[in-house]
Amino acid sequence: RGLAWSMKNDFDRAIADFSEALKINPRYATAFINRGNAWKNNGNFARAIVDYTMTIEINPLAVAAYANRGVCYSLLDQSELACLDFQKACDLKRCDELKRAQEQNICQ
């Protein structure tokens, strides 16, 4: 249901549903990344970073979590952390964010 709310841009309800899923299974990486996306779309980048970090702790190969966390760090003017995440995502074969950050002189 959380994804359905997200698709309707009702991020508060999406966050609530993903939070309920995490009460049932606190190691559900998909719920963490989706709740992180909802937080990000709601403009709460710090909360999104927490959820992306939890996703990575559960699944260190979650490339989207690195990329999305990097975007949030960038939006919070934490370029060094953003670049580290973009590089990790690129190491996992997702380089779009790193290339874009390099073009914008955020990362070298």
Find the DSSP H helices in 25-104. Answer: 29-41, 45-58, 63-75, 79-91, 96-103
Distances (CA, A) of 70 to 16, 50, 77: 24, 12, 10
Indicate the pTM of the whole model.
0.95
What is the CATH classification number for the domain harbouring 11? 1.25.40.10
Give the mean model confidence (pLDDT) for residues 33-39.
98
- Residue 20 within a domain: yes
For the chain, how many structural domains are there in total?
1
pLDDT of 1 strictly over 90: no
Structure confidence at residue 107 (pLDDT) = 95
47-83 pLDDT, tens per residue?
Answer: 999 999 999 999 999 999 999 999 999 999 999 999 9
Rounded CA gap, 61 and 83, in Å?
17
- Residue 25 within a domain: yes
- Residue 82 within a domain: yes
- Residue 75 within a domain: yes
Domain range enclosing 64: 2-103
- Residue 108 within a domain: no
Coil, strand or helix: which one is 14?
A: helix
